[in-house]
Amino acid sequence: MSLDLKSVSETLWIPLFGKAIESTRDNGLIKDAKAVEIANKAVALKPELGKWWRALSKESQGLMIWRSLEIDSFVEEYINSTNYPVVVNLGAGLCTRYERMKELNPDLVWIELDLPPVKLAWENFNIETSQHQYWTDNIFENNWLDRLHNLKSENVLFIAEGLFMYFSREQVKDIILRVADRIDSAHFVMEVYSKFALQRPHPDVKRTGARKFDNPWGVYTGKDFERWSPRIKHHKDSYFLKHKKALRRVPLTHQFGALIPFIAKAGKIVYIKTT
């Protein structure tokens, strides 16, 4: 049993418990049975994790609803329109999305990618298979991309949920362009924020050892990514503070912020493709 996580890895408890809490509500807006199962088992193994059951911010509750519903929608569309879908979940943590997607296509291959200590935690609650793998390669090196290339898939979906705010603009650009160089057709579903939003500390992240990138970067719209390369094509943005279901859970300050355009567009899920 290894649940001792440090720095950014420690933040994986926030989405896990956020989705579990929402799933146990009588009027829950998402249902994630696997998140509930893992959260309960994690507390049994390490009782101090019970703090996340008791005190998770309303902001995180809204974020988890938005992330779950919007990213699930993008992923479902990709899987249903692809003969041999391959999904790579970057900075996967204890994400449970595979459990909701595995029945959509029997040929689905799902790769979780994160640090070795996170995989050790994941193995307390999951069993690795040929179709659901957990890789621990360095995201800034090419080993994992070489392994992907060996899967012979020309059409791969990459998810970056709750990840890129911990990297510099140059690091994110490097990841996306290296993928574009090696994958014939890559889809990215990414959670990103404006620089304004990242200058404000997140109430639950402050309770962990994680720190956002010292010099935060951001985008106002996903079209900004097209400036990085003519191979990048922007397709869609989904805004946190424009999501009606998410707004049911967030504090009043966020609801008022949704009325101000530059605040309403501060947090977004961006869908781009590379060719």
pLDDT number for residue 125: 96
Number of domains in the chain: 1
Sheet holding 185-193, edge to edge: 132-135, 109-113, 86-90, 155-160, 185-193, 267-274, 232-239
What span, in angstroms and rounded, lies between the C-alpha atoms of 216 and 195? Answer: 6
Whether 12 is covered by a domain: the verdict is: yes
Contact 180, 231 (CB under 8 A): yes
- Name the 3-class secondary structure at 262: helix
Q: Please give the sequence-ordered ranges of beta strands (E in DSSP) within the chain, or none if there are none.
A: 86-90, 109-113, 132-135, 155-160, 185-193, 232-239, 267-274
Whether 120 is covered by a domain: the verdict is: yes
Specify which residues 156 forms β-bridges with.
86, 186
pLDDT number for residue 130: 94
Whether 44 is covered by a domain: the verdict is: yes
Q: Could you list the pLDDT tens digit for every one of the 275 residues in the chain? A: 577 776 778 889 999 999 999 999 999 999 999 999 999 999 999 999 898 888 888 888 888 899 999 999 999 999 999 989 999 999 999 999 999 999 999 999 999 999 999 999 999 999 999 999 999 999 999 999 999 988 867 799 999 999 998 899 999 999 999 999 988 899 999 999 888 777 766 667 766 765 665 677 888 899 999 999 999 999 999 988 788 887 788 777 777 776 778 777 778 999 999 98
Contact 163, 91 (CB under 8 A): yes
Whether 20 is covered by a domain: the verdict is: yes
Whether 91 is covered by a domain: the verdict is: yes
Whether 178 is covered by a domain: the verdict is: yes
pTM of the model: 0.93
Whether 197 is covered by a domain: the verdict is: yes
Give which of 180, 191, 183, 158 is closest to 78, Cα–Cα: 158
Contact 183, 274 (CB under 8 A): yes
Take residue 77 and report the two structure tokens written for it. Answer: 């569309």
Whether 2 is covered by a domain: the verdict is: no
Distances 216 to 55, 112, 177 between C-alpha atoms, Å: 27, 26, 20
pLDDT number for residue 266: 78
Range of the structural domain that residue 228 is part of: 7-274
The region, left, alpha or beta by phi > 0 then psi within -120 to 50, assigned to residue 168 is beta
Q: What are phi and psi of 235, to 5 degrees?
A: -120, -40
∠ Cα 139 140 144 (to 5°):
45
Q: What CATH code is carried by the domain that includes residue 204?
A: 3.40.50.150
